[in-house]
Amino acid sequence: MSEMLANQYFMARHYNKAIPLLQKVLDNDPGNINCIKKIIICYAQVGEISRAQEHFMQIMRRDPSIIIDTDPLEDDCPCPGIVQKMEKKTILVQDLATHFTVLGMLYLYCDLPKSISYFELSLEKSPDQPILKEVLRILRAF
């Protein structure tokens, strides 16, 4: 029941309402790939970037194709629209490294080369981030 309602909130783009329900599903089923993919997007959209990164790294270490093979239409993935809006707001963002990291995470759902380029930009802005280096190592090997 929680997962169905979480999916409804996700499809309606009510990310803050979907998060607690997705988290409840993950508490009971930590390997639920569909919930993990959605909660990454939700956390990124509500500004809880470190939480999004935790789940993102879980997938990266397990199998990046879980995200890379996402079909934006079939999976009702909002990422193509989100990244287009985010790219237009770059001038307004104070922390470009975080902004580029979020773009890298979200682009992975629909465009691997763009994802890699945003992770590279993020690493340029914040070169002391071992997680970014790990992500790039994983994605370049893919």
pLDDT in tens, the chain (142 residues): 688 999 999 999 999 999 999 999 999 999 999 999 999 999 999 999 999 999 999 999 999 999 999 988 888 889 899 998 888 876 555 688 999 999 999 999 999 999 999 999 999 999 999 999 999 999 999 8
Q: Using alpha carbons, select from 127, 128, 131, 77 the residue that is nearest to residue 107.
A: 77
The full set of domains in the chain, from first to last, is: 2-141 (1.25.40)
Joined together, the tokens standing for residue 93 give: 């963002």
Read off the pTM: 0.92
* Cβ atoms within 10 Å of 4's Cβ, excluding its own: 9
